[in-house]
Amino acid sequence: MDFTLNEQQQHWQRVARDFAQNRVAPIAREMDETGEMPLSLVTEMAELGLLGATLPKELGGSEIDHLSLALIYEELGRACSSVRGFMTVHSSLVMQCINHWGSEEQRTKFLPMLASGSEIGCYALTEPEAGSDAASISTRARKVNGGYILDGEKIWITNGNIARLAIVFAKLVAPEFEAKKPHERITAFLVPLESEGVQRVPMPGQELGHRASDHAHIVFKDCFVSSEMVLGGEGKGFKVAMSALDHGRLGVAAGALGVHQACLDASVDFVRKRKQFGQRIGDFEMVQSSIAEMKASLDASRLLVYRAAWTKDQGLPSKSETSVAKYFATEAACKAASDAVLLHGGRGYSNEYPVERYYRDIKGLQIYEGTAHIQKIVIAREVIGKETRS
């Protein structure tokens, strides 16, 4: 086994680290307080080749492997989870999904614009009454001449207010689909969000974390979508959604890895400098125990995340590996963030130090792209297998 990063992977790690530490980290607190990510960062990510990531070069991409992409997400997560979240939705949930499921016309029309950052994408699956149970969505797509009429609403749509293109999931209303199971009726549509019949507003209230992320409540009312905008085919939407979430879970897992690393960095720096009872607190065994646990779980998370990315790069089935990485990395980072706040004492409970932001941000990563509970279900089913009935 060779754990050495190759030259290309090291290159993308350096590019992402330089951008994250020099451009994102200095304004991370400001973005958290204002609740807004400057769109200039999107332009810079596009210019660096980060947005196109795994796409072919002829479509504006960088043709990087999934491990390089995980390294990028790790570095962005280390600096700011909101920026990492933006890119994961835009690049993994939207662009990789279109690249995999889209027709040649759809791929050549939308992917270059998304890779350049001239258009931003979002992924519209979650509804007021449909979260983990994706098959229970109530948004409807009624077939008409030349296309479909969408009616329904979506919530917590990351990038939803700033995006111009959405992948929207709806259930088909047509005689030939009435007898089918709920998930077999779901279809994915590419919807320009400036279309007539689309209303968007920011989600109300201030979030616990990811405060610089854009989250929208989107309502579709008599919104016409042409037949050419179906993604993957009628009734294939559930498969489209699950494959996209698998891409997104790698981004979340790698982002959690970045938060975990940031917690360790901040904690080590603090316990070296902070003195109590005549010595630095890093010399106390209880503090050393916390640091050791943080480091050990970080190494374990990194191996799991990198294994999931490597599995994807080999073209092997990676559902189990990705869910294991997402589950373990987010849980480990949650504990690391909690311990980091505790090690910082009263300072950790204020925004004087960054660990309180890490503590708030990491909770979202337990939820995004399938909660920790959902990951356990996915993992267990992969291990146990499906029951065969005679």
Active site residues: 369
b/e 64-75 (16+ beta carbons within 10 angstroms → b) = bbbbbbbbbbbb
One-character DSSP codes across 250-301: HHHHHHHHHHHHHHHHHHHHHHHH-EETTEEGGGSHHHHHHHHHHHHHHHHH
Name the phi and psi angles at 192, rounded to 5: -65, 125
> Residue 36: helix, strand or coil by DSSP?
coil
Q: CA dist 284 to 136, 142, 274, 277, 349, Å?
A: 52, 66, 11, 10, 21
Is residue 109 exposed (0-12), middle (13-18) or buried (19+ Cβ within 10 Å)? middle
Distance in angstroms (rounded) separating the CA atoms of residues 166 and 153: 13
Distance in angstroms (rounded) separating the CA atoms of residues 170 and 27: 38
Distance in angstroms (rounded) separating the CA atoms of residues 278 and 357: 30
> 275 Cβ partners below 8 Å, 6+ apart?
281
Distance in angstroms (rounded) separating the CA atoms of residues 82 and 20: 12
Token couple for 149: 């009429």
